[in-house]
Structure 1
Amino acid sequence: MEKITFLKRKAVEIRKSLIEMIYEAGTGHTGSSLSNTDILTALYYSVMKVDPRNPAWEERDRYIQSKGHAVESYWAVLADKGFFPKEELKTFSSFNSRLIGHPNNKVPGVEMNTGALGHGLSISVGMALAAKLDNKAYRVFTLMGDGELAEGSVWEAAMAASQYQLDNLIGIIDRNRLQITGNTCDVMNNEPLDKKWESFGWDVVEVNGHDFAELTEALNVTTANGKPTMVIANTIKGKGISLAENVAGWHHHVPSKEEYDLAMKELSEQLEVLS
């Protein structure tokens, strides 16, 4: 229970950090980053083997954020873990900053440049296959958005992962059901999502993407059954800020001063409850 409380507090701190980054920079993917914050918190504070002092550690677990536009939560987590100074978050999206609007490997802890949707799973398949060929024990995690699943390259990678029996590969879908143009099922219906992945030869686990007990259990996969794992994490776009939750317009929305103040007040209150 103490670990869960720690993760909950950490997630609220990350949300406060990303909202401040977006507000000060005047740009960012607010709703998307808020929805994946708990997933990243579970991965970096409870699941993955990483060493901020040695980002190139050969035995590290690999993480690819295919959902690259939701980078603000990613930057906040990497800074909090010590991959780079927290002060650098103030440079987000400013001239000559490393912290641009998508992940890039000039930043310690970032494996690959991402942002063009549909590529992350393919990259992760290659990394997971390399681990198998080199007899390495590290795992590869990749986070995708549900709107991203309309990209055909995702399903090519899904077939390859099954073909090569990559049971060291864990995919995660941030299933918030909203993309920039509306509901994912209206734009490109991908239901039944669990059956689709199962038919491509994957083990599928469906969880509440804001429940740390469910997330950490699902992500700590150590099977050797020859099947990659897909974690469908049901999330809420804009999670943690009432005026943003389940609102498609917050996909790429910069809070006004009033919205920023309300958001920070809510998040501060959440921290008080968890203290």
Structure 2
Amino acid sequence: MATQAIAQTLGIELIELKKAACCGSGTFKEESQLLEDTVNARNIALAEQLKLPLLTHCSTCQGVIGHVDDRLKAAKADDPAYFDQVNGLLQEQKCSPYQGSTEVKHILWALVGDYGLEMITQQVKRKLSGLRCAAFYGCYLLRAQSSLPFDNPVNPSSMENLFAALGATPVYYSGRTQCCGWPLSSYATEASFKMAGNRLEDAIASQADCIVTPCPLCHLNLDSRQPEVEKATGKTLGLPILHLPQLVGLALGIEPSKLGLERHVVKTQALLRKLGF
């Protein structure tokens, strides 16, 4: 909801790839690297058919699909037999071949690198003055690809720069580039919840009003599972978690109901009151 809303406001046209498949969330490669590469080569090829970049709004999708794109572009030059094997499997399924002719780009990079912070600032209708936002980059967005043209993987700043452009105050804390615990949740649930608790406690100790993440899976572990995290840690947390497009949408003057903010497990009313809603 929020991604579509901000795209419409900013004049970004989104073409939904209705035939796309799940990226596998990093689990396909546990069975087979070839499986992960082939499924996501198909996803990328769908965008290539339209001669468009493949936009993601999930850090995990960006990490997985972006890594596949890097790997197959390298294979095209250095390991043509593997490159042809992937395309041979696509051909068997009557899918278009992967060419390596486009790019995979998270919406954060599109906003910061393509649209530009200056242009975004000009579109702000409601400055987020006084709102203390803690960025949570998570794992995949920073680490999966060989290069990040719009950020530093060790010491990132793109989200904090975006917060400042929206009028918010960036909060720096130790857990902002660490794991939320989601990858552990299916087989080490207690450890996953404690890991999420550490991230939340770090942000709270830094006096953040909210955590903002570019990853829906991080959002899932930090927001919808926060009551379970509280039980695992024995601490009351109650920290709102926003998906990045939701924060951008608030600054663009989009109503909270159109951004899905009433659907969160951790209520966002106090945060909205602070912004004058």
After TM superposition, the score normalised by the length of structure 1 is 0.30
Greater strand percent: which structure?
Answer: 1
- Structure with higher RCO (Cα < 8 A, 6+ apart): 1
- Which is higher, the Rg of structure 1 or of structure 2? 2
Greater helix percent: which structure?
Answer: 2
After TM superposition, the score normalised by the length of structure 2 is 0.30
